[in-house]
C-alpha cells in the first residue's frame, strides 16, 4: 500500500515513524531539505523536497500510483489544495487533511464533501475534547473509549498508600467491588501484560478495561475524588484553550485563561465573553496565587512550550490542585516524565496519529479490519477493537483453549448489548465486538492476527 505524507512536522514525523515500522510504502514531501534528510536517515522511505500542493512535486512523489495522501503541513489551505490537486491527478486516491483553524470548524462537514476528503483531523479540537472527558473523571490519567462509548480503557497511577498498592490482581474485586480487567502495567518504564498473580506496587501505572457505567463506582471504591470540576484555570491562550473553553463554558464550568500575549488576550476576550482572561506569565507563582490556584478544581497547562507546561504543572501539583493536565508536544522522555507529578499528559499529535493509523489499517484490511485503534502505555501497547465476522477463526471456543499469541490479551467481548469482561471460559460468536490489547512491537491488523499459526 503506497502512502504519500505531505509535511514533515510533528504529526508528519510521528506518522512516518509509525507507518514505516508497519511496512507501508512511504513517500514524504516537505519544503525543508535538512528535515527531510534527517528523517530519511532514520527510516526506509522516499523523500521529495518541494511544495506539496504543486502538481509537479506530487507527480514526482508518485501520487498517480498512491492509495492515500495525508496532508499535515502547518497551513490548512495548503493541506486542502494538496488534497484537491492529488484528486485531480488520481481520482481514486483517499485523502486526509489536517484542518486546525477555528474559523473552519463550523464548515468542516461541507468542506469534507466539497473537497472530496476521506477524513479531516483537527489535533487541537481532539485534544480539547479529550481534556474535557478527563475533567469529568478526575481520578483517571487517560481515557480511551470503545464499543460506541460503552467500554473504556482508563489509566491510573498506584502511589504509596493507594488501595491497590501491594494487591495481587486475583484479589482486585475485593477492593473495587466491580468487574474490571487490568490489561497492561507500566513498571520502571516498561509495559507488561500481567497475570492473576501479578502484585501491584507503588509507582505502577495501570491500564484498566471497564464498562463505562462502573467508572464512578471504581473511583469511589478506590477513595478517589469523583466530583466534576467547577472552576478550571487554563494556562496558555492557543487553539486548544479556545476549543476547551468553549466546551467548558457550554457545560457551566467557570474558566480562567492566563495568556502572556496581550493581543491574544483581547482576541480571546472577544471570542469568549464568559471566560475570565488574564494577561500575564503563568510561570510566575504570584500570578497563579492571585488567581486562586490553590482553590481551583483543575489546572490545564496548554502553552506552546513543553518546558513551561511542565513547570506550571509541577507548581499546581505542589499547591494540591485536585486535577492537573499537561499538554506536551514531545513524548520522547517518558521515563523522566513518569517521575514527575504532571497529572494527565495530553499529546494532540498522538491523538491525531491514532485516528489516522486506524484509517490506514482499515484501508489495508477491509475484511476483519480494526474499528478503533488506540496507542496506550506510552506507545508500548495498542488497544484494538474488532467485529467478529464470518471469516473469524475459533468462534464458540473457550478462550482458555485458544492459542493466542504472546503479549496479546482479549480484554472485552460485547455480545450485542451485553458486555463481558472475559475469563478463560468466555467465547465469542459472529456479530460480537471484541477488544484486544497487544504489547511490544506486534501489530494486529485483523482479528485473526491474534492467533498463533
pLDDT at 339 (0 to 100): 74
3-state secondary structure of 352: helix
Is 231-321 CATH 3.40.309.10? no
What is the pLDDT at residue 23?
Answer: 86
Residue 384, classed as helix, strand or coil, is strand
SS3 content of the chain, % helix, strand, coil (to 5): 35, 25, 40
Residues contacting 77, CB < 8 A, separation 6+: none
Domains 139-221 and 362-450 share a fold: yes
Per residue in 192-219, pLDDT (tens digit) is: 999 899 999 999 999 999 999 999 899 9
Residue 105 confidence (pLDDT) above 90: no
| Residue 107, pLDDT score | 84
d(CA 199, CA 318): 29
Half-sphere exposure of 292 (CA within 13 A, CB side): 13
d(CA 95, CA 86): 8
- What tens digit of pLDDT does each residue of 342-359 get? 999 999 988 899 889 888
Q: What confidence score (pLDDT) does residue 52 get?
A: 97
Look at 40 and 370; give whichever has higher pLDDT.
Answer: 40
Predicted local distance difference test score (pLDDT) of residue 104: 85
**Runs of H (alpha helix) within 64-146:** 76-89, 108-114, 123-136
Average pLDDT value for residue range 261-278? 97
Q: Residue 67's pLDDT is what? A: 96
CATH of domain 362-450: 3.30.70.1450
C-alpha cell at 90: 488520481
pLDDT value at residue 368: 59
Predicted pLDDT at 358: 83
The domain defined by 139-221 carries CATH number 3.40.50.720: no
Over the chain, what is the mean pLDDT?
A: 92
Residues in the chain: 453
Residues 127-163 pLDDT 10s: 999 999 999 888 899 999 988 889 999 999 998 999 9
370 or 296: which carries more pLDDT confidence? Answer: 296
Which of these CATH numbers, 1.10.10.60, 3.40.50.720, 3.30.2320.50, 3.90.380.10, describes 2-121? Answer: 3.40.50.720
% of residues, the chain, pLDDT over 90: 75
Alpha-carbon distance 185 to 181, whole Å? 11
Return the C-alpha cell found at 436. 484486544
Residue 366: pLDDT band with limits 50, 70, 90: low
What pTM value is reported for the model? 0.86
Residue range 286-309: average pLDDT? 96
Listed by start position, the domains of the chain span: 2-121, 139-221, 231-321, 362-450
Amino acid at each position: 500500500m503506497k502512502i504519500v505524507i505531505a509535511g514533515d512536522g510533528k504529526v508528519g514525523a510521528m506518522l512516518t515513524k509509525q507507518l514505516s515500522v508497519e511496512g507501508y510504502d512511504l513517500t514524504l514531501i516537505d519544503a525543508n531539505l535538512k528535515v527531510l534528510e534527517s528523517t530519511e536517515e532514520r527510516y526506509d522511505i522516499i523523500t521529495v523536497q518541494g511544495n506539496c500542493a504543486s502538481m509537479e512535486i506530487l507527480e514526482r512523489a508518485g501520487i498517480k500510483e498512491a492509495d492515500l495522501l495525508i496532508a499535515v503541513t502547518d497551513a490548512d489551505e495548503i493541506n486542502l489544495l494538496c488534497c484537491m490537486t492529488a484528486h485531480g491527478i488520481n481520482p481514486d486516491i483517499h485523502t486526509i487533511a489536517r484542518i486546525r483553524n477555528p474559523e473552519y470548524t463550523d464548515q468542516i462537514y461541507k468542506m469534507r464533501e466539497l473537497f472530496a476528503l476521506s477524513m479531516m483531523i483537527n489535533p487541537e479540537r481532539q485534544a480539547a475534547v479529550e481534556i474535557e472527558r478527563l475533567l469529568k473523571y478526575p481520578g483517571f490519567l487517560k481515557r480511551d473509549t470503545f464499543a460506541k462509548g460503552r467500554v473504556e480503557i482508563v489509566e491510573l497511577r498506584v502511589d504509596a498508600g493507594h488501595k491497590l498498592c501491594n494487591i495481587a490482581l486475583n484479589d482486585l474485586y475485593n477492593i473495587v467491588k466491580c468487574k474490571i480487567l487490568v490489561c497492561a502495567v507500566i513498571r520502571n518504564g516498561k509495559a507488561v501484560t500481567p497475570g492473576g498473580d501479578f502484585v501491584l506496587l507503588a509507582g505502577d501505572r495501570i491500564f484498566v478495561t471497564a464498562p463505562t457505567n462502573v467508572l464512578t463506582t471504581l473511583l469511589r471504591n478506590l477513595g478517589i475524588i469523583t466530583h466534576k470540576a467547577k472552576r478550571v484555570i487554563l494556562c496558555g491562550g492557543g487553539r486548544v484553550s479556545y476549543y476547551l473553553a468553549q466546551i467548558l463554558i457550554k457545560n457551566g464550568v467557570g474558566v480562567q485563561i492566563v495568556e502572556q500575549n496581550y493581543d491574544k488576550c483581547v482576541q480571546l476576550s472577544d471570542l469568549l465573553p464568559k471566560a475570565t482572561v488574564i494577561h500575564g506569565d503563568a510561570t510566575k507563582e504570584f500570578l497563579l496565587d492571585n488567581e486562586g490556584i490553590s482553590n481551583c478544581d483543575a489546572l490545564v497547562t496548554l502553552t506552546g512550550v513543553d518546558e513551561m507546561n511542565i513547570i506550571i504543572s509541577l507548581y499546581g501539583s505542589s499547591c494540591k490542585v485536585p486535577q492537573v493536565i499537561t499538554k506536551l508536544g514531545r513524548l520522547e522522555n517518558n521515563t523522566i516524565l513518569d517521575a514527575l507529578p504532571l497529572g494527565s499528559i495530553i499529546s494532540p499529535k498522538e491523538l491525531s496519529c491514532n485516528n489516522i493509523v486506524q484509517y490506514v489499517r482499515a484501508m489495508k484490511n477491509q475484511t476483519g479490519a480494526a474499528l478503533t485503534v488506540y496507542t496506550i502505555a506510552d506507545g508500548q501497547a495498542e488497544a484494538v477493537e474488532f467485529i467478529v465476522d464470518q471469516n473469524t477463526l475459533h468462534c464458540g471456543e473457550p478462550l482458555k483453549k485458544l492459542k493466542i499469541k504472546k503479549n496479546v490479551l482479549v480484554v472485552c467481548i460485547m455480545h450485542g448489548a451485553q458486555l463481558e469482561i472475559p475469563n478463560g471460559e468466555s467465547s465469542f460468536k459472529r456479530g460480537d465486538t471484541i477488544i484486544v490489547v497487544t504489547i511490544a512491537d506486534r501489530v494486529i491488523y485483523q482479528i485473526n492476527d491474534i492467533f498463533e499459526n
